[in-house]
């Protein structure tokens, strides 16, 4: 396979605005997962520099909340590209924390001028004014709630549901017509990931994109689900963020 050319300077500048080098778009992962060619992917990546003001706002919000250099989700720019490429009606994510993944879905939906993000979260609030040693970095600062770093202008139309995924997700899936994109980033155990994947199965369709983060803790749950769909698993580089695209029936 021909090597990718260097990322354009304006894209790299946008990554630096967020302040997390992990957020460099992985073009091999995107191309494989979305099934799009280099020309189309390049066109979508060229939209990323428009996100620079958002990335600066996120970084500032994280720093104000005591989360310097914190981006939580390592592939936010890819979520924006996926949303633009697939033009989903319904995106579902489990796990929100500061809202890095959420706001990149929302940015893509806003640019599409269609679709809704449905987020399920049970926020864990930090114990004191400052994050204590050993306390999870995904804890929400006191006095704030899920999505606390999202700029206000992106909140319109966001369907945020607070509570346990076991309660909220099945109810949500019954309400939507399709699940076009799904991201698991909540309780990372094999049993819980399996529960969430089976909960969304009835509303998946050919072309749906399903992702799970932190799969180092969830064993073979995602791979088993992929095999049951006859889908290929795409891993983002050497990380434990994986995804699949639901194939056409045989």
Is residue 181 very low, low, confident or very high in pLDDT (cuts 50, 70, 90)? very high
- Is residue 1 predicted with pLDDT exceeding 80? no
Is residue 85 very low, low, confident or very high in pLDDT (cuts 50, 70, 90)? very high
Work out the average pLDDT over 52-77: 91
- Is residue 232 predicted with pLDDT exceeding 80? yes
Is residue 250 very low, low, confident or very high in pLDDT (cuts 50, 70, 90)? low
Is residue 126 very low, low, confident or very high in pLDDT (cuts 50, 70, 90)? confident
**237, 26 contact by CB (below 8 A):** yes
Between helix 190-200 and helix 165-175 the angle, nearest 10°, is 20
Q: What mean pLDDT is reported for the chain?
A: 95
pTM over 0.75, yes/no = yes
Measured CA to CA in angstroms, residue 200 lies from 61, 79, 80, 85, 123 at distances of 32, 19, 21, 21, 22
Supply the pLDDT for residue 145: 93
- Proportion of the chain above pLDDT 90, given as a percent: 86
- Proportion of the chain above pLDDT 70, given as a percent: 99
Supply the pLDDT for residue 69: 72
Place of tokens 């990380």: 239
Work out the average pLDDT over 192-204: 98
Work out the average pLDDT over 91-99: 97
Q: Could you tell me which of 81, 67, 96 has the C-alpha nearest to residue 36?
A: 81
- Condensed to tens digits (0 to 9), the pLDDT of residues 136-159 reads 888 899 889 999 999 999 999 999
Domains of the chain: 72-245 (3.40.50.150)
What is the CB-side half-sphere exposure of residue 126 using CA atoms within 13 A?
A: 22
More confidently predicted of 71 and 180: 180
**Residue 61: other Cβ atoms inside 10 A:** 17
Output phi, psi for 181, to 5 deg: -135, 135
- Is residue 67 predicted with pLDDT exceeding 90? no
Supply the pLDDT for residue 2: 83
Supply the pLDDT for residue 120: 98
- Condensed to tens digits (0 to 9), the pLDDT of residues 154-177 reads 999 999 999 999 999 999 999 999
């Amino acid at each position: 396979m021909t090597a990718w050319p260097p990322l354009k300077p304006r894209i790299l500048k946008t990554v630096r605005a967020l302040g997390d080098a992990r957020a460099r778009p992985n073009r091999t992962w995107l191309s494989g997962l979305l099934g799009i060619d280099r020309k189309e992917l390049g066109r979508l990546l060229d939209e990323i520099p428009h996100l620079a003001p958002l990335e600066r706002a996120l970084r500032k919000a994280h720093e104000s909340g005591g989360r310097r250099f914190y981006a939580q989700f390592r592939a936010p720019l890819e979520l924006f590209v996926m949303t633009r490429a697939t033009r989903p009606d319904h995106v579902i994510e489990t796990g929100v924390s500061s809202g890095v993944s959420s706001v990149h879905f929302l940015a893509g939906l806003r640019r599409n001028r269609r679709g809704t993000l449905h987020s399920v979260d049970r926020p864990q609030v930090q114990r004191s004014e400052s994050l204590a040693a050993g306390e999870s970095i995904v804890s929400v600062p006191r006095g704030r709630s899920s999505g606390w770093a999202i700029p206000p202008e992106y909140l319109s139309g966001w369907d945020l549901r607070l509570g346990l995924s076991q309660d909220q997700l099945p109810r949500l899936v019954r309400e939507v017509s399709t699940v076009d994109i799904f991201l698991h980033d909540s309780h990372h155990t094999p049993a819980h990931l399996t529960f969430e994947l089976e909960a969304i199965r009835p509303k998946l369709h050919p072309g749906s994109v399903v992702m799970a983060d932190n799969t180092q803790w969830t064993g073979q749950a995602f791979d088993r689900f992929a095999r049951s769909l006859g889908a290929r698993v795409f891993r983002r580089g050497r990380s434990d963020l994986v995804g699949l695209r639901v194939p056409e029936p045989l």
